[in-house]
Amino acid sequence: MAATATETTDTQTPRMDLLRFATAGSVDDGKSTLIGRLLLDSKAIFEDQLEAVERTSADKGYDYTDLALLTDGLRSEREQGITIDVAYRYFATPRRKFIIADTPGHVQYTRNMVTGASTADLGLVLVDARTGLTEQSRRHAVILSLLRVPHLVLAVNKMDLVDYDQAIYEKIRDEFDTFAAKLTIPDLTIIPISALQGDNVVERSTNMPWYQGTSLLHHLENVHVSSDRDLVDTRFPVQYVVRPKSDEFHDYRGYAGQVAGGVLKPGDTVQVLPSGFQTTIAAIDLFDESVSEAFPPMSVTVRLADDLDVSRGDMICRPQNAPTPTQDIDAMICWMTNEPLRPRQKLAIKHTTRNARALVKDIQYRLDINTLHRDQETGELGLNEIGRVKLRTTAPLFTDPYEKNRTTGSFVLIDEATGITVGAGMING
Q: Give the residues across from 203 on adjacent strands.
A: 199
Q: Rounded to the nearest 5 degrees, what angle is found at the Cα of 423, between the Cα atoms of 331 and 122?
A: 75
* Eight-state DSSP code of residue 227: G
Closest CA to 350 of 271, 422, 276: 422
Q: In sequence order, what are the residues at sequence separation of 6 or more whose Cβ sits closer than 8 angstroms to the Cβ of residue 184?
A: 145, 148, 403
Nearest Cα residue to 424 out of 329, 295, 302, 336: 336
Which of helix, strand or coil describes residue 113? helix
- CATH number of 17-228, picked from 3.30.750.24, 3.40.50.2300, 3.40.50.10540, 3.40.50.300: 3.40.50.300
What is the fold, at CATH topology level, of the domain defined by 236-317? Elongation Factor Tu (Ef-tu); domain 3 (2.40.30)
What are the pLDDT tens digits along the chain (429 aa)? 333 333 343 444 445 688 999 888 777 777 778 888 888 777 777 677 777 777 877 777 776 666 666 665 433 433 444 444 567 888 888 889 998 887 776 666 677 778 788 888 999 999 999 999 988 888 888 888 888 899 999 999 999 999 999 999 999 999 999 989 888 888 999 999 998 888 999 899 999 999 999 999 999 999 988 777 778 899 999 999 998 877 777 788 999 999 999 999 999 999 999 999 999 999 999 988 899 999 988 999 999 999 999 999 999 999 999 998 999 999 999 898 899 999 999 999 999 999 999 999 999 999 887 778 899 998 899 988 899 999 999 999 999 999 899 999 999 999 999 999 999 999 997
> In the chain, what are the domain boundaries?
17-228, 236-317, 324-427
Q: Considering the entire predicted model, what is its pTM? A: 0.79
Query: Cβ contacts of residue 46 below 8 Å, gap of 6+?
Result: none
CATH superfamily for 324-427 is Translation factors (2.40.30.10)
* Residue 18 CB coordination number (10 Å): 14
17-228 and 236-317 share one CATH topology? Answer: no
Q: Give the start-end residues of each E strand in 265-385.
A: 269-273, 278-285, 290-291, 299-304, 315-317, 324-335, 346-351, 354-367, 374-375
Helices (H) and strands (E) in the chain, counts: 7, 21
Bond into 274 cis (ω within 30): yes
